[in-house]
Amino acid sequence: MNRNAWRRTAAVARKEFLHILRDTRSLVLALALPLVLLLFFGYALSLDVDRIPTLVYDQDGSPQSRTLVERFRGSRFFDILGQVDGYGEIERRIDRGEVLLGVVIGDDYSSDLAQVRPAQVQLLLDGSDSNTASIALGYAESVVQLHGLELLAEARNLKAGRTRAAAVEPRLRVWYNESLESRNYIVPGLIAVILMIIASLLTSLTIAREWESGTMEQLLSTPVRPFELALGKLSAYFVLGLADTLIAIGAGTLIFGVPLRGSLLFLFATSCVFTFGALSWGILISAVTRSQLLASQVGMVTSFLPAFLLSGFVYAIENMPAVIQVVTHIVPARYFVAMLKGIFLKGVGPAVLWTELFFLAVYGVVVFAATTRKLRQKLA
């Protein structure tokens, strides 16, 4: 670009800056919305399952069965609401939604253990929420199996008349998210979703607004070229997008306490690449639709839904159908979510995340080129 081209681009950017500053309500909304969305989703959206309301039906009443009940009571994942004398109370409380899990210990639990036979424990779950029920089932099975193995080892040792140490002592260590808090998993991905929404909505109205207000005809009479028009408009909103990025990152680390183990400079650089592509997509939508209402609707559908459902933000891509997994490769938020989780939780850098960064850069260049071409057709 020569000096005159830079001057024209700067003039378009200055015009957009003035429009942003004069529209105080939109400016406040653009800066406050990331924080509001992050607080709302960060606190409301949680994949943690703990304090599971539980009822116990102990038919055995032995020290071994009482020890098992205490194991449930001592776990932070279960909240023992009491013990009952039959199945009826468990069924009624589950039907009313007051209880999620019922633990039924058979009357031959201790005798089976003494005879070194498999002891049966029945788990009754409310399966209307399949995700929560499956997680609760996993927790309950772990408690029962661990307690059963300990009792079985004790029974064998007593029968043999000697004490034997366990052949294998498992020691579990969780990397990157030691406390297994879903907030540490959700918030980095949420930043990508929010930036995709904000960036697309900010720029999806720019060209459409020019057509509806009649100022596009004035631009047609100037020497401004399509490339300069797109870059100038994008520059103004790029600064606003970076401000939203800093707000989202600050809220994630300071309010939610998500650890930032990677390079802040690399995180900022990747956010710039992603924001450029998202803003370019918004301008492309605006150029195609030429209507603010239609542009805002298309921007929401093409930014929020793919970023929320197909980026791996909440739902693991590996568990999706094969066809959907292929579709996710054209969703830019997929790569940015992977980068955010890698930088925040794992502390990795370009040596590991260069593939995702490359795809984001290609996406931004391709979309910006398509935007410039569309504007050239509109201005021709």
pLDDT at position 161: 53
Rounded to 10 degrees, the C-alpha dihedral 129/133/134/138 comes to 160
Average pLDDT over residues 363-369: 92
pLDDT at position 273: 93
Domains in the chain, please, with CATH?
3-46+181-379 (no CATH), 52-160 (3.40.1710.10)
What are the pLDDT digits (tens) for 116-162? Answer: 677 788 889 888 877 778 888 888 888 887 776 776 666 666 665 55
* Number of neighbours of residue 106 by Cβ within 10 angstroms: 17
Closest CA to 373 of 201, 225, 236, 217: 225
In the three-class reduction of DSSP (H, G, I as helix; E, B as strand; rest coil), residue 176 is classed as coil
Q: Is residue 302 over pLDDT 90?
A: no
Q: Which of 66-75, 154-163, 211-220, 366-375 has the lowest mean pLDDT?
A: 154-163
What are the pLDDT digits (tens) for 307-346? Answer: 888 888 877 788 788 898 899 999 999 999 999 989 998 8
User: What percentage of residues in the chain have a pLDDT greater than 70?
Assistant: 88
pTM > 0.85: yes or no: no
pLDDT at position 168: 55
What are the pLDDT digits (tens) for 251-272? Answer: 888 888 888 888 999 999 999 9
What are the pLDDT digits (tens) for 24-76? Answer: 777 777 788 788 888 887 777 766 677 889 999 988 888 888 888 888 888 88
**Measured between alpha carbons, how far is 327 from 348 in angstroms, rounded to an integer?**
26
Q: Give yes or no for a contact between 277 and 363, defined as CB atoms under 8 angstroms apart.
A: yes
- The pLDDT confidence band at residue 221, using thresholds 50, 70 and 90, is low
Tokens 């004035």 locate to 218
Average of per-residue pLDDT values in the chain:
81
